[in-house]
Amino acid sequence: MVKAEKACPVAFHPASTLDYLPVAQLRQVQLQRLGAIVRRSYDHVEMFRKRMDQHGLHPHDVRSLDDVARLPFTVKADLRDTYPFGLFASPMQEVVRLHASSGTTGKPIVVAYTKEDVGVWSSVMVRTFAACGLHEGDVIQNAYGYGLFTGGLGIHYGAEALGATVIPISGGNTDRQIMVMKDFGVTAICCTPSYFIHLMERARELGTDIKELPLRAGVFGAEPWTQAMRDRIEAESGIKAYDIYGLSEIIGPGVAIECQHQSGLHIFEDHFYPEIIDPETCKVLPDGSEGELVLTTLSKLAMPMIRYRTRDITAIVPEPCPCGRTIRRMKRISRRSDDMFIIRGVNIFPSQVEAALLSVEGTMPHYQIVLTREKGLDKMEVQVEVTSEVFSDKIRAMENLQAKLAKALDNTLGIRVEVSLVEPHAIQRSEGKAKRVIDNRKM
Ligand SMILES: [Zn+2]
């Protein structure tokens, strides 16, 4: 079966109407909700009230959407400092769900939802799936982890509200995932892009050709990935790979999604108001400029977030999308300012390494960056898996490929790095977010 035969007409879902509101009406909805949420935060969240008072601001100072820029920022450390419930704006009796995201260090951050919040979450997830061309009758395999992580349940309730059939398989047990995908007639899968690559690989080993299955869409997120990675996934699986964006601090998955045109992610901005700022000066940048994404939740009751600094680097796309949605798009996020590491004075993002590696034929989309320090000098090694054909080939071919990769990396990064070719499966597979950088310099 080829890709074209898998495509089916996109049915319009009534929930998507909100994606197409006339712009003036959308701005009005945003402004009205902004006023209410600033008021609510001021009245119920001590940290926010203190900061507003320090700035000499009062909720009635918010009269236009431009006034958002006057409000104080919220950062991840604020969630840790107020652990566990310090930023809640609702009493616990009204909170129907808690989620938490594990931090790399110390205490997790805790997020809360009222019944209304859970409803909003489901509704943005319905709009998300609808934008990906999914509808009632689709069979959605949800391989995001269920539990405190927002990915599993966020996708789950959205898919149910859509009227699709959900398979709550959660992450892991790859062979069973493939069996289910095959036997249950799965038409869409949700997981991290790196896990899907692992699934494709394992399916091949088990003699299953994903192109032959009814699977036609993947909703991939929770980690940055590049266009080059998407091209690989689509070419090898015959599915359409959609980029989904979300974060627990804002709601979970369902903040933004690509439509059929796959050229930027539509932000559900009737609920999440986006700004792009210069991360150094904190000044708001005009649409089209690249900077850090800042989001304000416009309708979240239990835990409103005012101007939350996401650390994700993107830009608002100024042009309208051919799909006709009026909610604005942002460029795909391939890097987070948190992911950046500095080697010999040069700023490097893992996504730059990924794009350079995948531009060379014969490589697999599995790689790892290992940083070490020898005699006070930083060293960067890129380990990349190669196809078994290349690996079993003559030493000469290996050396050739190694040189090509080193050159591609040199051109992209502007510094010399060491490239090691490793055999298939040498790099550990992740069932959730892939670990791309191992920094041994601090030890
Ligand atoms: Zn669109």
The arithmetic mean of pLDDT across residues 305-309, rounded, is: 98
The arithmetic mean of pLDDT across residues 146-157, rounded, is: 95
In DSSP notation, 288-353 reads T--EEEEEEESS-SSS--SSEEEEEEE-EE-SPPTT---S-EE----EETTT-EEETTEEE-HHHH
Indicate the helix (H) or strand (E) that contains 43: helix 23-44
**pLDDT surpasses 70 at 243:** yes
CA atoms of 330 and 21, how far apart (whole Å)? 18
Give the Å distance between the CA of 300 and the centre of ligand 1: 25
Give the Å distance between the CA of 263 and the centre of ligand 1: 7
Give the Å distance between the CA of 50 and the centre of ligand 1: 40
Give the Å distance between the CA of 268 and the centre of ligand 1: 12
Alpha helix (H) residue ranges in 329-427: 350-358, 388-392, 395-413
Give the Å distance between the CA of 18 and the centre of ligand 1: 13
Give the Å distance between the CA of 330 and the centre of ligand 1: 11
Give the Å distance between the CA of 134 and the centre of ligand 1: 15
What are the tens digits of pLDDT across the range 174-223? 999 999 999 999 999 999 999 999 999 999 999 999 999 999 999 999 88
Give the Å distance between the CA of 70 and the centre of ligand 1: 30
Q: The tokens of 19 are what?
A: 């994606």
Pairing of strands 265-267, 252-258: antiparallel
Give the Å distance between the CA of 328 and the centre of ligand 1: 9
CA atoms of 404 and 29, how far apart (whole Å)? 53
Query: What's the pLDDT at 21?
Result: 97
Give the Å distance between the CA of 333 and the centre of ligand 1: 16
CA atoms of 443 and 440, how far apart (whole Å)? 6
Listed in sequence order, the residues at least 6 apart from 297 whose beta carbon sits closer than 8 Å to its beta carbon are 37, 250, 251, 271, 272, 273, 304, 305, 306, 308
What are the tens digits of pLDDT across the range 105-145? 677 899 999 999 999 999 999 999 999 999 999 999 999 99
Residue 237: name the closest of 214, 206, 267, 270 by CA.
214
* Confidence tier at 3 by pLDDT (50, 70, 90): very low
CA atoms of 59 and 40, how far apart (whole Å)? 9
Give the Å distance between the CA of 345 and the centre of ligand 1: 39
